[in-house]
Structure 1
Amino acid sequence: MITYSHELETDFTIEKNKLAFREAIAYVESQFGKDYPVVIGGEKIFTEDKIVSKNPANKEEVIGHVSKANKELAEQAMQAALETFETWKKWKPEHRANILFKAAAILKRRKHEFSAWMVKEAGKPWAEADADTAEAIDFLEYYGRQMLRLQDGVPMVNREGEFNQYNYIPLGVGIIISPFNFPLAIMAGTTVAAIVTGNTVLLKPANTTAIIAAKFVELMDEAGLPKGILNFVPGSGAEIGDYLVDHPKTRFVSFTGSREVGCRIYERAAKVHPGQKWLKRVIAEMGGKDTVVVDKDADIDLAVNSIVYSAFGFAGQKCSAGSRAVVHQDIYDEVLEKAVALTKTLTVGNPADGAYMGPVIDDKSFKKIMSYIEIGKQEGKLMTGGEGNDSNGYFIQPTIIADLDQDARLMQEEIFGPVLAFCKARDFDHEMEIANNTDYGLTGAFLSKNREHIERARDEFHVGNLYINTKCTGAVVGHQPFGGFNMSGTDSKAGGPDYLVLHMQAKSTSEKL
C-alpha cells in the first residue's frame, strides 16, 4: 500500500511540531532580501528589472527580489531548451524518475522550510502551507512511479509473422505557467510531469510567488537535474508569456490560472505560426464556481462544516473553493444560522502567528473581492463579514451573503476570495439545476443520507471532482485526480493515471518478421 504525504500532514497541536515550524519561519525570515536569478541552460542571469516580492500579510516586508526575463532572454531560454531536449529525450525513463524521487526526498527533509516560504510569500496559514508541500512531494513521487509504468508502452496484439509496439515519446519544449494559490504543489507538479516524460521546459511562475518557484528550481538542481532541462523565466505575462505561447517552437503549454487568461492562451496557441510544424497542445486548469449542495435529510453539522471550510480555506483563493451553498428549503434557515456562527469563530490575521485565515494575495485581488461584496449586498443579505482592511496587509473578513437568486452575479461569477453565496432550493431536482447552472464544472459536494439522491447526484452533478458527504476541496494525488469540465479547463486530471500521457505522443511501430 502506498502512503501519500497528505496522510502524514503535520499535526500542529503537538508542541514540538509548533516549535519546529516557528524555527522554519525564523530561518526563512533570515533569508529575506536576497536576489534570485533567471536560470537559462544552467546559467544564472541577474537583470536590472526585478520582481519585488512582498508579504501580503505585511506590505512593508520585502521577501526578496527576482530577476525578470525579457523577450531576448525568453528566446535564449527557448534555444537552450530545444538543444537539451535532443539529449534529455534519450534518457531512460527510470533515470528521469529517479531525479524526481531524489527531489521528493530532499523536499521531505526541508518540508517546514518550504511551507514557511509559502506562509511568508503567499500568505498561507500553517496547515494550508503544510498541505501544499505534502502535495508537491506526492506529485514528485506519483509522477515518477507513473513514468515507470508507462515506459514500456501498451501491449499490442501480434498476428503471425508480425511484431507490433505502441510506445510513448516526449513532445518537445513546454511552457509552464503556474499560479500563486498553490505556489509549490501546482508549480512543481506541472513542471515535473513535463520533465519526467522527457520534455524540457520554460517555467514562468506567478509574479507574486516567484521566490517559492526559484527555491524549487534550486532544489531540482540539487536533485541532479541536468542543466537546461528546467529553465526559469519569471516575468510579465503580456511580454514573455504571449511571446512564448506564440513561439513556433513551443510544443505545448501547461497553464493553471484564471478563465480569462486560460481562454486567451487556448486561442493564441491554436494559431499556426511560420516555422511551426505541429498543433500545440494546451493543458489548462482554469476557474471554478463550486457548489456545496445540502439535501433535505443531510447531517446538519457535517453540512455546515463542509460549507464553511470549503469556502474559507486559504481565504477562498482556490479554484476548488465551495463559494456557493445550495440548501434545501426545509433546513435552509438552520444551516445558514449555524454556518454564520461557525464562520464567526474563524480567526483572521497574520498566518505566521497561526491565524486560520490570512490575507488575499495582493491589492488587485483585495479591490476585486471588496467590489463583489458590495454587489452581494445589493443582491442578497449580508449575514457576516463584509469588511476589509488593507492598511498593513490585504485582509478581508470571511463573508456570507444569503437569500440570493440562483442567477445572481454572486452565484455565477468566480470571486476567488472569502465570499460565500447562500441560495435556497425547493427539492432535489432544483438542487441539481442550480448546481449545474454556471459555466464551470470543477468541484462540488453533495450532502445527503438519501441513497437514491446520492446515486442520482453521482450521475447528474456535472463536475470533474464530486465529493459526497464531505467538503469539496483537498483532492489527494493518486486518490482524487483533479480537473474540471466546461470553463474549468481541459479536465486534465492532475495526479491521475492519464496525466503524464498528455505530455507525450504515441508511436506505433509494426515489423514484418
Structure 2
Amino acid sequence: MVQPYHHEPFTDFSVEKNQLAYQEGLRTVEGYLGRDYDLLIDGEQVTTDEKIVSYNPANKSEIIGRVSKANKELAEKAMQAALEAFKTWRKTKPELRADVLFKAAAILRRRKHEFSALLTKEAGKPWREADADTAEAIDFLEYYARQMLELKNGVPIQSRPNEFNRFEYIPLGVGVIIPPWNFPLAIMAGTTVAAIVAGNTALLKPASNTVIVAAKFVEVLQEAGLPKGVLNYIPGSGSEIGDYLVDHKDTRFISFTGSREVGVRINERAARVNEGQIWLKRVIAEMGGKDTIVVDDEADLELAAQSIVASAFGFSGQKCSACSRAIVVESVYDQVLARVVELTKALQVGDPTNRETFMGPVIDQSAFSKILDYIEIGKSEGRLVAGGTGDQSKGYFIQPTVFADVDPEARIMQEEIFGPVVGFSKAKNYDEALQFANRTEYGLTGAVITRNRDKIQQAREDFHVGNLYFNRGCTGAIVGYQPFGGFNMSGTDSKAGGPDYLLLHLQAKTTSESY
C-alpha cells in the first residue's frame, strides 16, 4: 500500500518564529553569495574557464554566484555518461528510485527557508512566492515518488487459458531537461525528478538566470544517493548546447518549459530524424499563456477584484498562469475596475527580502525593457489607470500596471507580456465574455467569477483552457490537486503534478507467455 500524498503546507509568516527562520535562511544564503559552482558530469565536478554569472534582479550589482559553462564537447561527454548510467539505472528497482526522491524531499524540507531565501535573492521572489515555490518542489518529489510506486507493476490485462499476459512500463532513455527561471526550484525539480524516478537518465540545462538554485538542488540529489551519471548538470547557451542536445541522435525525449517561440523551435528540431536515430523523440512542452479572468454580473465583485490583482501581480506577473486579461460584463465593469485600481495602488513594490513586499523586481534587463515596451503599446491601445512606470536604478522594478477599455484583439490582450500588466475589456454579456476569453492562441489557465451554477457549467464546457478555476484566481495550482498544463499554443497538455505525467517519461511493453 503506497502511503497517501499530502501537499506541503505553506509557511504562516505572521508567526514570529517563522519570520526568524526565514531571516536565518537569508543569512545562510548571504554567507555563500559569489561562490563558484562546477558542472556535474558522470558524478565528477568539472570546471571551465567560461562562466555564467547570476545576479540579484533586485540589486543588480550583487552577484549570487558563478557557474562553469558547458560547451558541445562537455555536453557530448554528459550524453555518454547518461547513456552508460541508463544501462543500470533502468534496471534499478522503482522502490529504490523513489527512495532517492523521498530522501531529497526530507533534505529540502529541512532546508526549506534556505532554498526559499535563495529564490528571493536569485529570482527576486517575495517571501510568500518563494515559500510556495519551495513547497511545490517538495510536493513534486513526494508525489512523483508515490506515482512511480503505483505504476511499477503496470496495469492488469486479460489472459487466456495456457497464456499469461503482462502490460508494464519501461523507461525511455536519456532526457534533456530545459526548465524555466520563473519557478526555478519547483519546475526545475519537478521536470528533473519525473524523468529520473521513471528510470531515465537526464541532462539538466537550467535557465541561465537561476543556475545557482539548480546547482544547489543537484547537490541535494547527490546527498540523497543518486548514482553518478543519472543526472548531469550542464548549464550553457541554448544556441550552442541546447540545439546540439535537442538534435542529438541519442536524445530520447525533451522536457521543456518556457516561451512559445522556443517551444515551437524545439518541437520542430526534435521532429527531424537525424543520422543514427532509431526513434521519434518525445517532446513534453509547457509554453506559456495569455490567461483570462471572466467576471459575470452575478459575481462577488470584491472576490473578483482581489482575484484579478493577486493573479496579475503575484511574482510581478511572471507566471505562465498569470491573469493578463480581465473580461468583465459591462453592468459591473466600472465597479470592478475601480476596485482593482484601488487595490493595485496599495500594493507594496520593492526589495523582496522585506517581508512586507508584495511585488519585487522583474528578472533582468531584457524583461524590464520588453515589459516597458508593451506598456508603451498599451498606452495607444487602452486607458492607463494604474502604474505604467519602471525604475532600474538599483534593480528591475516595474509598477503594477492596469489598462482599461482595451479591445480583446489588441496586442496587449493577445501577446504574452510576462510582466505586471493586466488589460480590461468590457463584454455585453456572459456569452460574449466567454467568446472573448477564448479568443487567443493560448489555452493554459482561466477563471470565472459567478454565483450562477448554470454559467459555471457553461464555462466547464466552453472555456477552452487546461486549468479552469471558479470563484478564485487563475494562479496557484497545487501538485496532486490541480494537475497543470494547457491547450493550443500553451503546450502539449502535459499535466504536471497529475496522475498521467510520469507516463510521458515511460513506454508501455506487453509480454505474453504461452504455457
TM-score of the pair, normalised by structure 2: 0.99
Matched letter for residue 11 of structure 2:
T
User: What is the CA–CA distance in structure 1 between the aligned matches of 2:85 and 2:132, rounded to whole Å?
Assistant: 33
Q: Secondary structure at the match of 2:385?
A: strand
2:396 corresponds to: 394
Task: Determine the C-alpha separation between the residues in 2 that align with 1:342 and 1:117.
Answer: 29
Q: For 1:243-322, what aligned pairs fall within 5 Å after superposition?
A: 243-322=244-323
Offset at 1:338? 0.1
CA distance in 2, matches of 1:9, 1:400: 29
Is the 2:5–2:143 contact (alpha carbons within 8 Å) kept by the matching residues of 1? Answer: no
- In structure 2, what residue type is equivalent to 1:14? V
Secondary structure of 1:351's match? coil
Task: Give the deviation of 1:23 after TM superposition.
Answer: 1.1
Contact 2:312–2:422 (8 Å) recurs in 1: yes
User: Aligned residue for 2:232?
Assistant: 231
Letter in 2 for 1:226: P
CA distance in 1, matches of 2:513, 2:64: 59
Distance in 1 (CA, whole Å) between partners of 2:446 and 2:6 is 23
Deviation at 1:4, TM superposition (A): 3.2
In structure 1, what is the equivalent of residue 421 of structure 2? 419
Per-residue CA shift, 1:161-198, capped at 9, x if unaligned? Answer: 11110000000000000100000000000000000000
Q: Does 1:331 align with 2:332?
A: yes
Partner of 2:385: 383
Structure 1 partner of 2:462 = 460
- Amino acid across the alignment from 1:358: G
Other-structure match for 1:408: 410
1:42-191 counterparts in 2 under 5 A? 42-191=43-192
2:384 alignment partner, SS class: strand
Structure 2 distance, partners of 1:112, 1:19, is 10
**Does structure 1 residue 37 correspond to structure 2 residue 13?**
no
Alpha-carbon separation, structure 2, partners of 1:112 and 1:406: 41
- Paired position in structure 1 for 2:491: 489
Give the Cα–Cα distance (whole angstroms) in 2 for the partners of residues 97 and 156 of structure 1. Answer: 25
Amino acid at match of 2:335: E
Q: Does 1:451 align with 2:467?
A: no
1:8-63 CA distance string (max 9 Å, x none): 11011111111110111011001011100011000101111001110000001011
Counterpart-to-counterpart distance in 2, 1:488 and 1:357: 25
Aligned partner letter, 2:230: I
The CA distance in 2 between the partners of 1:491 and 1:134, in whole Å, is 23
Q: Percent identity?
A: 68
Give 2:248's aligned amino acid.
H
Answering whether residue 221 of structure 2 is matched by residue 220 of structure 1, we say yes
Tell me the residue number matched to 1:428: 430
CA distance, structure 1, for counterparts of residue 100 and residue 251 of structure 2: 24
CA distances 1:222-241 after superposition (whole Å, capped 9, x unpaired): 00000110000001001000
The runs of 5 or more residues in structure 1 that have no matched partner are: none
What is the rounded CA distance, in whole Å, between the counterparts of 1:304 and 1:67 in structure 2? Answer: 46
**Cα distance in 1 between the residues matched to 2:452 and 2:146:** 39
Distance in 2 between residues matched to 1:155 and 1:161, nearest whole Å:
17
* Over 3 Å off, 4+ runs: 1-6
Q: What is the CA–CA distance in structure 1 between the aligned matches of 2:321 and 2:173, rounded to whole Å?
A: 31
Q: For residues 509 and 45 of structure 1, what CA distance do their matches in structure 2 show? A: 42
**Residue identity matched to 1:357:** M
- Mapped to 2, the partners of 1:406 and 1:222 lie a distance apart of 51
Residue 375 (structure 2) pairs with residue 373 (structure 1): yes
Q: How many pairs are equivalent?
A: 512
Paired letter, 2:384: L
Q: What amino acid sits opposite 2:249 in the alignment?
A: P
Q: Distance in 2 between matches of 1:391 and 1:266?
A: 39
> 2:283, 2:459 → 1: CA distance?
30
The superposition leaves residues 66-101 of structure 1 with CA deviations (integer Å, 9 ceiling, x where unpaired) of: 000000000000000000000000000011001100
- Give SS of 1:213's match: helix
Distance 2:178 2:96 in 1: 26
1:470 matched to which residue of 2? Answer: 472
Q: Which amino acid aligns with 2:294?
A: V
Deviations 1:94-147 (A, max 9, x none): 110011000000000000000010000000000000000000000000000000
Give the secondary-structure state (helix, strand or coil) at the position aligned to 1:159: coil
Taking only aligned residues, the RMSD between alpha carbons, in angstroms, comes to 0.8
Match of 1:198 in 2: 199
Residue identity in the other structure for 1:447: I
The one-letter amino acid paired with 1:348 is V
Tell me the amino acid that sits aligned with residue 231 of structure 1. Answer: N
- For residues 339-354 of structure 1, the aligned pairs below 5 Å read 339-354=340-355
Instruction: Report the CA distance between 1:5 and its aligned residue.
Output: 3.8
2:12 maps to what in 1? 11
Cα deviation 1:305-324 (Å, max 9, x = unaligned): 11110000000000000110
The answer for the alignment partner of 1:439 in structure 2 is: 441
Provide TM-score, normalisation by structure 1. 0.99
Q: Name stretches of at least 5 consecutive residues in structure 2 with no aligned partner.
A: none
**2:353 counterpart SS class:** helix
Do residues 499 (structure 1) and 501 (structure 2) align?
yes
